[in-house]
Amino acid sequence: MVYDRLLDELGPQYWWPADTAFEVIVGAILTQQTKWINVEKAICGLKEHCLLEEQALADADIGLLEDLIRCCGFYRQKASRIKGIASFFAENPMEDVFSLPLDELRRKMLSLKGVGNETADSIVLYAAGKPKFVIDAYTTRMMKCIGIEGSYIQLQQRFEAEIPEDVEIYKEYHALIVEYSKAFCGRNRCNECILKDLNENGY
DNA sequence: CACCAGGTTGACC
DNA sequence: GGTCAACATGGT
């Protein structure tokens, strides 16, 4: 299995690095098309200003937010989006929202501005701890390299059908694919070994 | 200097 | 249903 090989080669990644579920959610928006190192800087600044909390972030000055997250790019839309999402969770306690059935929770997250498929699944998996496999650009490219193309949902269904429905495995596998791709794959092609392994030994 | 990073949205077909 | 420009900074 590719999962076992990646785990063996790279070791556990322990994603998502964050102190709280709310930090995961904010980070999920900030990391869109952005290197994690820049997200860490922004998270750090938000923490210094005690803004990594639902009500505080919801009430924060938009100009201050823009300054604090400028290093993440798309800073104007991201500032208004994390503020909007903070307002939602200030009104709807996370514990209540996360206790919704998985599909309902996912739809609820998708209804928030700034939350698309990947971000919704990152929140469901890494913040709420429920089994939804996250498909990102690296995963999409890896699949394309072995001849499998499809919509986000189609790729996700394929993964979820191939591997055990286990939150810890979902978390690690996605993280491993990202780290492996960053280390060994080019922009338009994947490492030959993993492709061969995927074809011959399965996910 | 060109290219890309752990995407999403709204407009349009 | 799908495609596509726009969104923006920081590092190689």
Residue at shortest CA–C1' distance from C2: A151
**Over the stretch A109-141, which tens digit does the pLDDT of each residue have?**
999 999 999 999 999 999 999 999 999 999 999
**Closest among A199, A193, A164 to A180, alpha carbons compared:** A193
**CA of A8 and C1' of C4: distance in angstroms?**
40
Instruction: Specify the pLDDT at position A20.
Output: 98
What is the average per-residue pLDDT within A28-44?
Answer: 98
Domain residue ranges of chain A, discontinuous segments joined by + = 2-13+133-201, 21-127
**CA of A138 and C1' of C12: distance in angstroms?**
19
Residue at shortest CA–C1' distance from B3: A187
CATH superfamily for domain A21-127: Hypothetical protein; domain 2 (1.10.340.30)
For A91, the token pair is 């009104």
**CA of A120 and C1' of C11: distance in angstroms?**
28
Which chain C nucleotides are covered by protein, judged by CB under 7 A?
1-2, 7-11
Chain-centroid distance, C-alpha A18? 12
Which chain B nucleotides are covered by protein, judged by CB under 7 A?
3-10
Nucleotide with the nearest C1' to A153 CA: C1
The model's confidence at residue A14, banded by pLDDT at 50, 70 and 90, is very high
For A174, the token pair is 């996605």
Tally of CB atoms within 10 A around A54: 19
| CATH top-level class of A2-13+133-201 | mainly alpha
Gap between the Cα atoms of A129 and A139, Å rounded = 20
Instruction: Specify the pLDDT at position A33.
Output: 98
Gap between the Cα atoms of A199 and A1, Å rounded = 10
Residue A176 above 90 pLDDT? yes
Gap between the Cα atoms of A165 and A194, Å rounded = 22
What is the average per-residue pLDDT within A38-59?
Answer: 98
Gap between the Cα atoms of A113 and A131, Å rounded = 23
Query: Is the distance from CB of A115 to CB of A154 less than 8 angstroms?
Result: no
Place of tokens 């949902």: A153
For A170, the token pair is 């979902």
Place of tokens 């994690």: A36
**CA of A201 and C1' of B7: distance in angstroms?**
31
Q: How many Cα atoms occupy the beta-carbon half-sphere of A96 within 13 Å?
A: 6
Q: Per-residue DSSP letters for A115-157?
A: --HHHHHHIIIIIS--------HHHHHHHHHTT----HHHHHH
Instruction: Specify the pLDDT at position A58.
Output: 98
Please state whether strand C lies within 7 Å of residue A188 at its CB atom. Answer: no
